[in-house]
Structure 1
Amino acid sequence: PAGTQSVLVSLANTFIQVAINGFGAKAVAGVAVANRVDGFIFVVMNAIGLSVMTFTGQNIGAGKPDRVRRGLYTGVAMVVGMALALGWLVLGFAPSIVSLFNDDPYVSAYTIRMMRFILPFYFLFGVNDVIGGFLRGRGKSLVPMIVSLVFMTGFRLLWIWLVTPVWSSIDVVFMAYPISWVLTFVVLFVYLLKTYGLRSDRQEEKTLDPL
């Protein structure tokens, strides 16, 4: 399921790239630079999400519900802190960072424009990754895959096909990212709360029996 999820999200991003192509070569180059910068933060978010998945699975096997919960909370705190710190650091030094990749002012303008849309909300992407890792560690790998299919893929495709033709602006294209993260977070959080949030550690321990 995790592999399928990655493929589907990449498919949606391909259509977003097609929409960006319509704004010209400068926009394409600017977004390419933004994706390179974004990649450094993505690696951190993804690594924490994978760590939470492993940590959750190990502690379920050990029958330690308190550590399972603590791992989730710690993972969320880490991605929020890292995303906000790195995001605002990049935004604060955006012109200098972008100049390392491209010295065209028009390309740089598109790069900074995209980063201003996505980086302030990047912590939501990280939180979604952590919750997804937590659920996969508990054997619920289909849940994050389905949620991603609906919002990270389906919603983005509908946004590109239905919204961008009405408001032909590259800013509208960029908005697909944070909005899809918000929707994904809401659904995952509600599922997490309804499924695990109200249990005591004793009730939780009964569900952690590896047998």
Structure 2
Amino acid sequence: QSFISVGNIILQGVINTFGSGVIAGYSAGVKLNNLVITSFTTLGNGISNYTAQNIGAGKLSRIKEGFRAGLKLVWALSLPMALLYVFGGRALIHVFIDAPTETAMQTAVLYLRILSPFYFVVSAKLVADGILRGAGVMGKFMVSTFTDLILRVALAVVLAKTALGSAGIWCAWPVGWTVATFLSVLFYKQGYWNRTQETV
């Protein structure tokens, strides 16, 4: 947890170098983003409990069924939220900022438009993570989680210094999500529940 906090502090420090308009826009955008990510995380927690219960009962085939069902649920949520944020993000920003400056508005809208199409990706990670946690495979879960954080922080620092400016920071999110999702799904596929015969 402390490692994640340090990473977030570094990210915030990079964002702060772009001034109050970008800070305000990011603050509004990240609140909207967190609404969706929290929903995915809640479902992932449910799948974690589901996984632990079925491993205890020796019903390993249900884990694969749970993974597929979980993907359908999070993707069903991802589609409308991505469309809403891409096309209606500007209106939603006013919920968090009464009179946003143009810089703040542009920052928040761009942040949402860059991140929201990748909800399909990060949601798959959180479903796979739920299974890894429920199965007690915490080492691999931590590898994918820290990979995401490290990539996001490192790329944000680097890309912020390019012509992309603050947009480079937002681009770091999808890269971190994509690589970490690949790892989480790979670890899920390698899990013993995909190789072991269930008990009767």
Whether TM-score is above 0.5 comes out as yes
Structure 1 residues 11 and 126 mapped into 2: Cα distance closer, same or farther (>3 Å)? farther
**Which range moves more in the overlay, 88-97 or 48-57?**
88-97
Residue 30 of structure 1: how far off its partner (Å): 0.3
Distance across 2 between alignment mates of 1:57 and 1:92: 39
Query: Aligned partners of 2:133, 2:197: CA distance in 1, in Å?
Result: 17
Shift of 1:197: 7.9
Give the aligned partner of residue 94 of structure 1: 89
Distance in 2 between residues matched to 1:54 and 1:30, nearest whole Å: 36
Letter in 1 for 2:169: V
Question: Does structure 1 residue 164 correspond to structure 2 residue 160?
Answer: yes
Secondary structure of residue in 1 paired with 2:18: coil
Task: Please give the TM-score of this superposition, normalised by the length of structure 1.
Answer: 0.85
Compute the RMSD of aligned alpha carbons: 2.0
Mean Cα displacement is larger for which, 152-161 or 135-144? 152-161
2:16 maps to what in 1?
A: 21
Aligned length: 198
Instruction: Give 1:105-184 correspondences, 5 Å limit.
Output: 105-149=102-146, 151-167=147-163, 169-184=165-180
- CA–CA distance in structure 1, aligned partners of residues 6 and 120 of structure 2: 22
Tell me which residue corresponds to 2:52.
57
Per-residue deviation, residues 86-137 of structure 1 (Å, max 9, x unmatched): 1212322212111222222321111101001111102222111111110111
Identity of aligned residues (%): 22
Q: TM-score, normalised to structure 2's length?
A: 0.89
Per the TM alignment, residue 153 of structure 1 is displaced from its structure 2 partner at its CA by 2.4
Match of 1:40 among 32, 35, 56: 35
What are the ranges of 5 or more consecutive residues in structure 2 without an aligned counterpart? Answer: none
- CA–CA distance in structure 1, aligned partners of residues 144 and 95 of structure 2: 37
